[in-house]
A and B are shown apart, each in its own frame.
Chain A
């Protein structure tokens, strides 16, 4: 027990020593704290006030947008500016007047800079002029010794080489507005631009890139004293589109023959969109540094709607281009066979209603193939009466109508495929059989976008696969994968071939409504369907007086439509053309479709895949 007691005593002794040592160290720490905070407190206080570090954000370079061949559609050009630091000049006005000798600046510009200088600190550089030419930059640079306080720098300016031709697809960038400022601190950077419409908006997050930072030590008033640390910004990713820039330009130029029109060219197998044009258009390059109010007003009040991408946001009655859908519904229901004919005498009576065929004298005995070729209305009036609207609507939805396709541009509209439920919900009234009859020729409440019409044709000629349109490779577009295996639809090859034969006859048959637009070149022949969409009802009085649609005012004329595919033997491309108030599908829309299909068959954009460009 003695050992234990001795051990306990030794331990207590050592524990006390430990306690004393801890107290001593705490004393040293407390002393040090007092030294720093009391004795040297004043010195550190001033250091803390004077010495602050500013984080300056460095804007990343925006990702470029290119077509399937890598041809640039949206790039960043250098934007040279001349700046002045007010505190470095004796007399600001004098300095700017001196600058006037070398570059073209107005007295108003000078006034503006002087006004601005009064509002900000004297060391903040002010922009005197931007978008200098190389010549101007060179002149200023060479004469810098005579121009104290002046300097040049270069920023970036978004430029769209194809200008009007891609304005609707690519969209444009603009200054961030208050509602758009979110998590990303970049958005609060002065002069930072983000995508406002089109691809620029849809893929803004990948195009934008990531900020860099530059740590600058600044004094109390915020003047930069020295640079401490920089981390470079990360440029945005390049976005590659399925578009064929040349074809896009070709389409845009071709549409320019009309007052207002749109067109879509796409691949029936992959769903890749090769051209998506809407005329009239606008020059997005003019939007970069703000656009004059009067031009903006004009763009928005023009009845031809240059700001709207009509290829995806224009909703039109599909008119006779809808007849394939009704024919397929009839074949599915077994109500018609290739041989069964309906007699057309130019009129169709139902109840108290009288419905006219477009050809007053009628088409005689008409089977399904001929009904498409000559676009007989009575054939469809009869068939629709037997089918009812529900079966027609179901067939239309199968081919992509009546709802948005999930295309990559946010401006896409869904169109409309009416049925009984829709009518009841919308008006509280029951569906009338007469409405089924006019719906069967794509009139009444039926609406479709040009993109939907192109998809409809694509699904009819690709063997019955539910293809969807897309413009970017799959890592960017989660819902529209590149080279995706599209699901097979519930439709028989036999029925599709009957409809296809009819469409081929529309263009290549001696009685076809679009025979005037045939492509004569070997192997390039195409098929399709014309459509003429009524903008307003043809009154009995007009019918009796034989008023020609061309004689009405532009806004009262019919829309001209054409949907088509090529080549006839092994369809690869689908096209849709809508000419607003173009009077007749065969006259106005079919020739454009013919030109587009010839051009795309010559160019064969599918042979240069998007993936090859990416590698």
Chain B
């Protein structure tokens, strides 16, 4: 049952703009504004150096998001493979530059932004899997050989990111890839087997492949008190900051723990800590609710879609966003080891902000072009 590329039912630009999910855009803006407020506070009540730059990036990213949203999903469908392999190439280049003597480096300096290819990789992996599974039938999904290609799509970037070495990001790509397999309809048994295999691999990996600093992170996670002044210091101080915020928080610009520089990464990885120290459980709950609404909105857009590529892409990117959010928040509250992951939309950082907005642009494109006809 092949369907040709049909051009009927073409929307005008004005139609498309009308179909942008403005509620979704509003939620994204609100969450970003929380980020600006937190960065303003992190700088001791000043727009420089962080908040002003972040606002600028957000504005640029927002324009980019709309452009991405208005481009027909079919075009994105065609661009999947070039984007994916382009990203792989960038990762190889970064790796090579590191080898050639610029030291461990995860980014490429483009002048206006320090581009981290691994951040973009997170999106393109989801895109590539959505493209691959677009043509898959339910039967295909049950065949183990059919899943060899997706496994390669996931593992190639994971391998490259591991070389950097960036354990946190590579794990997140694995998780996103796993989620894609799940929503595309792979057998539940596959996941049960997968978890079993991981449980077996972890001790081996720990013993033979982990860098000492990574081992240390795991150890201090398991027992933060073992090294209260070293790696465990951040977790302990972050917990003190969050806990001391209480129900109502210490008040805007009043976060003494952050203010006194207990948290060296307060503008990036520990921005959530700063927010809840100053705004307490109320502020934290507000942020979590806003994030939940973004997730639900994404899921709704995905289920409304009439083509498999759009469904998979919209849901995949939504899940992707939620994974990074969970990892960061769980990390600063001491639920998982410190992996060095930013909180999307909120943490200070150009690539992370632009990558998040690009994801939302694609989700919006899925929504606007929910009825596009894409050949199998």
Contact = CB atoms under 8 A, between A and B. Distances in A.
Interface in A419-453: none
Given A11-B308, A32-B335, A37-B276, 10 more contacts: A7-B308, A10-B185, A15-B311, A26-B295, A30-B284, A34-B281, A37-B281, A45-B243, A48-B257, A53-B262
B244 A41 contact: yes
Contact of A26 (B137, B244, B292, B299): B292
In terms of DSSP, what is the predominant structure of the interface of chain A? helix
Interface of B: 1, 137-138, 179, 182-183, 185, 229, 239-247, 256-257, 260-262, 276, 280-281, 284-285, 288, 291-292, 295-296, 299, 302-303, 308, 311-312, 315, 319, 322, 326, 329-330, 333, 335
Interface in A1-27: 1, 3, 6-8, 10-12, 14-19, 22-23, 25-26
Contact of A15 (B239, B288, B315): B315
Contacts of B245: 37, 41
Interface residues of A, number: 41
B326 A25 contact: yes
Contact of B239 (A26, A36, A49, A228): A36
Given A1-B1, A51-B240, A33 B281 contact: yes
B185 A44 contact: no
A52 interface: yes
Contacts of B138: 3, 6-7, 10
Contacts of B280: 37
A32 B330 CA distance: 9
Contacts of B240: 44, 47-48, 51
A261 to B, nearest CB: 55
Given A11-B185, A26-B288, A37-B243, A19 B299 contact: yes
Contacts of A48: 240-241, 243-244, 256-257
B260 A14 contact: no
A43 interface: yes
Contacts of B291: 26
**Which of A11, A12, A32: most chain B CB closer than 10 A?**
A11
A361 interface: no
A38 interface: yes
A105 interface: no
Task: Point out which of A34, A36, A47, A228 has the most chain B C-beta atoms below 10 A from its C-beta.
Answer: A36
Contacts of A19: 295-296, 299
A240 to B, nearest CB: 34
B1 A15 contact: no
Contacts of B335: 28-29, 32
B242 to A, nearest CB: 5
A14 B185 contact: yes
Contacts of B299: 15-16, 18-19
A40 interface: yes
Max chain A C-beta neighbours (<10 A), residue from B182, B242, B262, B308: B242
B171 to A, nearest CB: 16
Contacts of B243: 36-37, 40-41, 43-45, 47-48
A79 B239 CA distance: 45
A33 B182 CA distance: 29
Nearest to B281: A37
Query: Which 7 pairs from chain A and chain B are nearest by CB?
Result: A44-B243, A48-B244, A41-B246, A36-B243, A44-B244, A45-B244, A33-B284
5 contacts: A15-B299, A29-B329, A30-B285, A37-B246, A37-B281
A7 B1 CA distance: 14
A23 to B, nearest CB: 7
